[in-house]
């Protein structure tokens, strides 16, 4: 099954962009006690900047699928 990319064509994936996405989710669902994001276990999901962001925002959790 094909999936949609959250990165516009021609733009490089980066930790800052992923953190921005996580921030948008947190702002969109301010009353949600937990927000779980299913990831494809790509290296960007484990970047130091993303890990640090998640430590500061404990409502956000990443769930890693098989790759």
What whole-number distance in Å separates Cα of residue 62 and Cα of residue 36?
Answer: 6
How many domains, in total, are found in the chain?
1
Q: Tell me, yes or no, whether 20 lies in a domain.
A: no
Ramachandran angles phi, psi of 54, nearest 5°: -65, -35
Looking at residue 41, its pLDDT comes to 78
The answer to whether residue 1 is domain-embedded is no
pLDDT at 6: 56
- At 21 the pLDDT is 93
Range of the domain at 41: 32-67
pLDDT at 1: 43
Residue 18 maps to a domain: no
Nearest alpha carbon to residue 35 among 23, 44, 48, 43:
23
Domain assignment present for residue 7? The answer is no
State residue 67's pLDDT score.
Answer: 60
pLDDT tens digits, residue range 8-64? Answer: 544 557 889 999 999 999 999 999 999 999 988 778 888 999 999 999 999 999 998
Q: Is residue 53 part of a domain?
A: yes
């Amino acid at each position: 099954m094909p999936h949609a990319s959250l990165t516009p064509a021609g733009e490089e994936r980066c930790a800052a962009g992923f953190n921005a996405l996580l921030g948008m989710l947190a702002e969109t669902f301010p009353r949600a006690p937990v927000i779980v994001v299913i990831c494809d276990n790509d290296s960007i999901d484990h970047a130091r900047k993303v890990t640090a962001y998640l430590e500061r925002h404990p409502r956000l959790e990443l769930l890693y699928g098989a790759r």
